[in-house]
Amino acid sequence: MKKLALTAAAAALCATPALADLDAARALLERYSQLPEFTPPGPAFDARACMADQSIFVIGLSSANPFNVAISQGMLEAAGHVGFRIRDWETQLDPSQWVQGINTAVAEGFSLIDLQGGLPPEFLVPQIMEAREAGVLVTSTHNWDATTQEVPEFMDGAANTDYVTMGEIMAAWAMVQTDGQVNALVLGPDEITPTAPLRDAIIGYLRDNCPDCTTSYINVPFNDWATQMQPAVQNALLADPSINYVLPVYDSMSQFIAPAIQIAGSNAKIVSFNGTPFVLDMLREGDIVEMIVGESLGWVGYAGVDANMRLLCGLDPVGTLNTPAYIFSKENVETAGVPASYNDGYGDSHIAGFKALWGVE
């Protein structure tokens, strides 16, 4: 009899629906609602001395993308403090321009090429190998995830980002806001390197921590955003009016998503990652964008230069950028500026921190 009673109790326990881990989600959000603090990525060194004869050539994904421009501006500013030669190559998301940039860097005798901000190096393996054979180091800043993606052997190094945490913060926010009842539409351009870890982190976090949450995913290539994003989102919302969150992996996609939400008559909210100024303005001024996980792109530029200098100077490599995530919501978005900028709102501890680290105070 006792055995039967125990079996029945166990069966009842198994039949009880699992609950969303809202406490863990709230703890994650609390952690990244605190103003970022500078943590040195490595020991101090004399940057001016070791960079006296060194130079860096930066090739971003696209000079039309404000995200890449802001990182490059941070790199140029950091190089100015140290005093070495740096060049930012103009591109328009054209692989032939990336190739031309690598060839130019080799011809002009640069020490290191940085493929910055999502540029997929696998498209350029022959050119990268030729540059390395010519004695030029080839690295990447803000491209791969620090924990889930391997840096290819054809690269000399990379300073990577914790994309997984960025995606988990987005998922946790939606969980908390809906009390564990998320029906999310996730969007991303699959051809961009960081998309996979961001996408998988969002979907995986909800799958593992929120039994009643559901997700669907749409791939919209970067070059199709202006023509395909709005109809894709609009059709999805009309097909499933219960969708309550749209989670684009990059916040600049929001300019095409917000009109789709309005036209569909949906109450869905946008949560995303990057901290693009016009999207922060949308957050401040409207009610469709609800939260943005940002990171100071000026800080990313400084951190990328730090990692590249350590490689050129023969120091221990830095594989992860020390650029913390930071949550912007209605409560604090005005700290990002009016209008918003890429660097306001995060504090400026990284500037003094890196200058002290490099001995250029």
The residues spanned by each domain of the chain are 47-161+296-323+348-358, 164-294
Residue of 59, 114, 117 whose CA lies nearest to 90: 59
164-294: CATH number: 3.40.50.2300
- Say how far apart CA 51 and CA 55 lie, in whole Å: 7
Residue of 297, 256, 249, 260 whose CA lies nearest to 277: 297
pLDDT (tens digit per residue) in 283-308 = 999 999 999 999 999 999 999 999 99
Bridge partner residues of 39 (DSSP)? none
- Say how far apart CA 150 and CA 65 lie, in whole Å: 25
In the prediction, which pLDDT does 2 show? 42
Q: Is 93 left (phi over 0), alpha (psi -120 to 50) or beta?
A: left
Q: Kindly give the interhelix angle for 349-358 and 297-312, rounded to the nearest 10 degrees.
A: 10
- Say how far apart CA 297 and CA 340 lie, in whole Å: 13
Asked if domains 47-161+296-323+348-358 and 164-294 share a fold, the reply is yes
pLDDT band at 118 (very low <50, low <70, confident <90, very high): confident
CATH architecture of 47-161+296-323+348-358: 3-Layer(aba) Sandwich (3.40)
Q: Kindly give the interhelix angle for 163-178 and 195-209, rounded to the nearest 10 degrees.
A: 40
- Say how far apart CA 37 and CA 13 lie, in whole Å: 44
pLDDT (tens digit per residue) in 172-218 = 999 999 999 999 999 999 988 889 999 999 999 999 999 999 999 99
Q: Is 204 left (phi over 0), alpha (psi -120 to 50) or beta?
A: alpha
H helix count then E strand count, the chain: 13, 11
CB 28 within 8 A of CB 213: no
Kindly give the residue spans of alpha helices, DSSP state H, lying in the chain. 2-15, 22-31, 47-50, 66-82, 95-107, 125-133, 163-178, 195-209, 230-239, 254-263, 277-285, 297-312, 349-358
Q: Considering the chain, what percentage of its residues have pLDDT values greater than 70?
A: 95
pLDDT over 60 (residue 79): yes
CB 113 within 8 A of CB 271: no
What is the 3-state composition of the chain as percent helix, strand, coil, each rounded to the nearest 5?
A: 50, 20, 35
> pTM for the full model?
0.87
